[in-house]
Amino acid sequence: MAAVMGYESMDGENTLLKAATADMRRGFVRKVYGILSVQLVVTVCVAAPLALHAKEMAKSNPTLVQHLMLGSAVLSIATICAMSCCQNLTRSFPTNYILLGIFTVTESVMVGFVCAAYPMKLVLGCFVLTAFIFIGLSIYAWTTKTDFTGFGPYLFGALLTAIIIGFGLSMFGAGDLAHKALAGLMVLIFVFYIIYDTQLMLGCYKGHSQEMDVDDYVFAALNLYLDILNLFLYLLQMLGDNKS
């Protein structure tokens, strides 16, 4: 969810997508959406069984559930920090795929346990709603003449402010209505992030002010995956009552 500027290879070659051939640019976009599709399939395959059987697991073996959640949280934080702080890792094969795979599986485990706290009808509804929103926003990002790639600092500021407000609401024991309002704000933020991250990927086609480089396909897929996941989870929080 942050702009990744281009760099120069060891022989001085510019690796920005804008400087790449048309085939390389098309290949970059196909690769990003291909990786993202695999991530989403893995997430559904891992999260769905956990969402359906988490309560039985918690009753029969609560220690296992605790270890799964804690281990997933630790691995998820470790891998996202590694990929965000050391972006060269996301450009090095096969390290980039290994880190992305670990992050995807651990996030999927946590999503499964979160979904278990809500009625399955609501989970499916939010899943469909997220899919329609993402497809619609992607079409808009592809077709609009407006350049959103310069809005990165503003989006980050809005996200950071919302996170701080969330901590404040939790500390002061705010009511359910306040948390739902905050979830609605987060939905709006990630709606804009989907447009922003999609346009970063497409900068080479549209002449946007910011763009990625040819080796950032894993980072681009990671950004979009996080946007989709957060949109889905905050829709759940906004529309649900956390009671199955």
For 15-59, write each residue's pLDDT tens digit: 555 555 567 777 888 889 999 999 999 999 999 998 888 788 877
pLDDT confidence bin for 143, thresholds 50/70/90 = confident
Average pLDDT over residues 183-206: 85
What's the confidence (pLDDT) of residue 28?
82
Percent of the chain, pLDDT > 70? 85
Q: Is the pLDDT of residue 7 over 60?
A: no
Answer for the pair 32, 199: CB distance below 8 angstroms, yes or no: no
Q: Is the pLDDT of residue 95 over 50?
A: yes
What's the confidence (pLDDT) of residue 16?
53
pLDDT tens digits, 144-153: 888 888 888 8
Domain boundaries, the chain: 19-239
Write the secondary structure of the chain as one string of H (helix), E (strand) and C (coil).
CCCCCCCECCCCCECEHHHCCHHHHHHHHHHHHHHHHHHHHHHHHHHHHHHHHHHHHHHHCHHHHHHHHHHHHHHHHHHHHHHHHCHHHHHCCCHHHHHHHHHHHHHHHHHHHHHCCCCHHHHHHHHHHHHHHHHHHHHHHHHCCCCCHHHHHHHHHHHHHHHHHHHHHHHCCCCHHHHHHHHHHHHHHHHHHHHHHHHHHCHHHHCCCCCCECCCHHHHHHHHHHHHHHHHHHHHHHHCCCCC
Please, what is the average pLDDT of the chain? 83
pLDDT confidence bin for 157, thresholds 50/70/90 = very high
pTM comes to 0.85
Q: Left if phi > 0, otherwise alpha if psi is -120 to 50, otherwise beta: which for 33?
A: alpha
pLDDT confidence bin for 226, thresholds 50/70/90 = very high
Distance CA 81, CA 83 (A): 6
Task: Return the top range by mean pLDDT from 48-52, 64-68, 222-226.
Answer: 222-226
